[in-house]
Structure 1
């Protein structure tokens, strides 16, 4: 094992758009699980390859549990992420995770998501009407991606229209990495805000997640925790992938035309966007609950393990020419939505959002193109939330 002073250091600096950083590529070639120093300055293990990540995503010896959460190694310093680390024993942690999935999965079933599709189409049409009306040049990030993702999720979770602006501001405060006081205040305000929503909706008959969970007898605190986790994860991931997907499609016009001509091809295009939208940095921190030996390394109980759901999508052992964007790629076993016990329950809804936005935007604005070269577009930095700082376009 390398000396702690020699460990490769992961940074939060945005890499070149859509490209694997030289450091991550080097680590991937070095091995499937590499010892690294995190942006927080702690030591941990980064899972770099597709086969290794897929195997570990089925391994119940990794989870949120740590015997000493206050001193657990971290990927980044953020009080919101601290909430995810529990001091419960591993078995209790697995039970809590399983219970959360049991409660939420029926609300994202295939039938429910099919029923949601007309609402998603209506939301995208409405947002696009406003976006187009302002005329070019315009910013797709703030003008389309963010409002679509927020509106869809707010509708499904059950956030009233008059409360959404306040909630968006609270979520934004939680994403900042370098202002602990702001995040701690934002954390209290966010949970109080959502708990208030739960209390007001408890006796209602709306068909949304908060109402359904509250009707199931859960406490306000438990419903609020589940709702906040959905809000934070859902908005961030969808906006980021949507931003990057629009760049990919806009810069591959022949593939875009093929996708627009055939809805089946568009579904394949969405899968390739999901694979190629980010080239590293989609990190989910986990902790080993016992010693685990794999691929020549031993991960000790309590050590931090970083599951990166984007870097393994660029593993040449699993994908031919992984840095090539190819909507005909088959099979396409990307791990963007994780796998196994950690598979994202909102994946079917995210796919519908992406397909609807890509289809409607480029159909209604066939002359749309980027207003700046790709190498001048920038990822957000200094925040947990992803996506681009802006995505200017003309038509």
Structure 2
């Protein structure tokens, strides 16, 4: 039986979401499984809030990622040139299947395991620099440079070319509201950067993922030029941005739960399972990538017309008491299997094993080096990205727990 269309909700306040998205989504989840909302972009959308519905919809082939299936005058989203827009986050099979198969060769368990030593080495070098000070911003000095180093090494980006990358991605995902042209400038800079990088790799290929993808494009003609550039863009941005937030949020969660951090440090072999709980408890993506029904669909009794924008709330699903007991509590003993932070179905994150490894290494190295680390501000003073689609700290000020006297004693 189909329910009456829910009443249209007031626009969602980005500042309220940044302060506490889980309280906002809890109210919506308790009020009903599907809501007609006004997004932060001012456009209407359907928000799905409960775990079972979100999981099922993530894998429903009737809900497309291809923006061409959006209703006229509806979803606008991020404005990208074709050379960056032909990526996996905008594709359905068969193109999605073809391109995912090509890039998956770089993310096999064997390939990922080969990155463990360089990731550990990079983490140790970053922590060496932090150890010289009693205070640090862990986003700028650790959570951000670690994944950008890893993903740039994977793609074959020279160290000198990495300096401006974070400012470009910040301009793209968290533009300064007083500078309306900033996002467009960030897109333009990224496109120029990737175009030059691909040209350089064609001239001098190396043993890296981008050179391998260029060979596929040029020798087998299985990638269009736009697909090649867009794929490089997606790997850089997704492999960097989401991992920054995953690491940053995880560090904050553990610092705010010192008793559980102490338990984890006593038995570090538990870390792999704890990373799953960290991803559930405060993951980097409150919403999955938007979907567009290719036909009229019904979700939990609510009829949604073809072409309208559907938003799947991972944040609401992960705090659904019907799926997770006492879901608002962080619990290192919880079996968080089945969380959706890295997706579900054919769009499950290709880089999930790499993101897990980076996070495990980052946390293990950090708390081994600085067992006395603590927040340097109250939780209410922390600044979050004002975004409905990403959950990440702008800064994470900490005291390292080391002093000059302590260093001398050692």
Alignment TM-score, normalising by the size of structure 2: 0.86
Distance 1:138 1:37, change over 3 A: same
Measured on the aligned residues, the alpha-carbon RMSD in Å equals 2.7
The aligned length equals 387
Post-superposition Cα deviations, 1:65-94, rounded to whole Å, max 9, x if no partner, equal 3447694533x75314999888xxx9x832
- Does residue 143 in structure 1 map to residue 145 in structure 2? no
- Does residue 98 in structure 1 map to residue 100 in structure 2? no
Q: Separation in 2 of the partners of 1:353 and 1:95?
A: 31
Following superposition, the deviation at residue 312 of structure 1 comes to 0.7
Match of 1:78 in 2: 78
- SS where residue 36 of structure 1 aligns? strand
Distance 1:392 1:343, change over 3 A: same
Q: Does the CA contact (< 8 Å) of 1:292 and 1:298 recur in 2?
A: yes
Distance 1:271 1:144, change over 3 A: same
Q: Does the CA contact (< 8 Å) of 2:28 and 2:49 recur in 1?
A: yes
Q: Separation in 2 of the partners of 1:332 and 1:68?
A: 33
Work out which of the residue numbers 9, 15, 21 in structure 1 matches 2:11. 9
Q: Does the CA contact (< 8 Å) of 1:18 and 1:277 recur in 2?
A: no
Distance 1:3 1:32, change over 3 A: closer
Work out which of the residue numbers 307, 325, 335 in structure 1 matches 2:340. 335
- SS where residue 13 of structure 1 aligns? helix
- SS where residue 8 of structure 1 aligns? strand
Match of 2:307 in 1: 302
Following superposition, the deviation at residue 118 of structure 1 comes to 0.8
Match of 2:405 in 1: none
Following superposition, the deviation at residue 119 of structure 1 comes to 1.1
Match of 1:345 in 2: 350
Work out which of the residue numbers 369, 372, 393 in structure 1 matches 2:377. 372
Distance 1:150 1:369, change over 3 A: same
Distance 1:19 1:255, change over 3 A: farther
Unaligned runs of 5+ in 2: 218-222, 402-410
Post-superposition Cα deviations, 1:227-279, rounded to whole Å, max 9, x if no partner, equal 11122222221111211111111122232223223343111111111111149
Distance 1:211 1:16, change over 3 A: closer
Query: Larger deviation: 12-21 or 337-346?
Result: 12-21
Q: Does the CA contact (< 8 Å) of 2:288 and 2:343 recur in 1?
A: no
Distance 1:388 1:136, change over 3 A: same
- SS where residue 342 of structure 2 aligns? coil
Work out which of the residue numbers 165, 169, 172 in structure 2 matches 1:171. 169
- SS where residue 290 of structure 2 aligns? strand
Distance 1:82 1:278, change over 3 A: farther
Q: Separation in 2 of the partners of 1:251 and 1:98?
A: 41
Match of 1:53 in 2: 54
Match of 1:130 in 2: 129
Distance 1:14 1:197, change over 3 A: farther
Distance 1:208 1:261, change over 3 A: farther
Q: How does 1:107-256 map to 2 (within 5 A)?
A: 107-133=106-132, 135-177=133-175, 178=177, 179-217=179-217, 218-256=223-261
Distance 1:143 1:332, change over 3 A: same
Following superposition, the deviation at residue 137 of structure 1 comes to 1.7
Query: Larger deviation: 220-229 or 183-192?
Result: 183-192
- Does residue 272 in structure 1 map to residue 271 in structure 2? no
Q: Does the CA contact (< 8 Å) of 1:50 and 1:313 recur in 2?
A: yes
- Does residue 26 in structure 1 map to residue 27 in structure 2? yes
Following superposition, the deviation at residue 310 of structure 1 comes to 2.5
Q: Separation in 2 of the partners of 1:385 and 1:393?
A: 22
Q: Separation in 2 of the partners of 1:371 and 1:130?
A: 18
Following superposition, the deviation at residue 99 of structure 1 comes to 2.1
Distance 1:146 1:352, change over 3 A: same
Q: Does the CA contact (< 8 Å) of 1:199 and 1:220 recur in 2?
A: no
Distance 1:68 1:289, change over 3 A: closer
Match of 2:41 in 1: 40
Q: Separation in 1 of the partners of 2:130 and 2:41?
A: 39
